[in-house]
Amino acid sequence: MELADILGPDAVIADMRASSKKQALLEVAQRAATVTGLHERTIFDVLLERERLGSTGLGGGIAIPHGKMSGLGRLYGVFARLAAPIDFEAIDARPVDLMFVLLAPESAGADHLKALSRVSRALRDRVLVEKLRATDRADALYALLVEPQKSRAA
């Protein structure tokens, strides 16, 4: 599975202005609603409920909010680069400036876990993360994210 399978060019927010975790989740839920056709409040509630179980802030300024939802026919991703880092209650207590939201059908099971693993692996690539932080154009962010993993390793 490649990120291009779950992330479309219209699902990239290049310069999100949010001052809190809740506001950031609401903004990505709005974009996810446009991409998926589901109601933004439903998406927001799923993401917020997952955050109540424990922060999806992985450390290093990166968060991967995620959840399973009825009404989805496939996996969807939304990427956001925040204009200014926000507190996300991350494991390392560092503020978050890069978010990759993953939404999966309720029946996704292993596919959801594979997608989470794929996103996590991509966002552990220091070179990629530096490039993501260095650009504020949605088309450039998208191109960086969907570039095949093998070419990044070279």
Beta bridge partners of 98: 62, 81
- Catalytic member of 21, 31, 66, 118: 66
Decide if 141 is inside a domain: yes
Does the annotation mark 66 as catalytic?
yes
Decide if 28 is inside a domain: yes
Decide if 152 is inside a domain: no
Q: Would you state the structure tokens that stand for residue 76, as one six-digit string? A: 């969807």
User: pLDDT tens digit string along 7-47?
Assistant: 999 999 999 999 999 999 999 999 999 999 999 999 999 99
Confidence of residue 151 (pLDDT cuts 50, 70, 90): very low
What residues make up the domain containing 89? 3-146
Decide if 154 is inside a domain: no
CATH code, 123: 3.40.930.10
pTM: 0.92
Q: Helices in 7-136 by DSSP H: which ranges?
A: 21-36, 40-53, 110-123, 126-134
Provide the number of structural domains found in the chain.
1
CB under 8 Å to 133, separation ≥6 — which residues?
Answer: 81, 97, 98
Decide if 55 is inside a domain: yes
3 state DSSP class of 59: strand
92 class by beta-carbon count within 10 Å (0-12 exposed, 13-18 middle, 19+ buried): exposed
- Mean pLDDT, range 65-85, rounded to an integer: 94
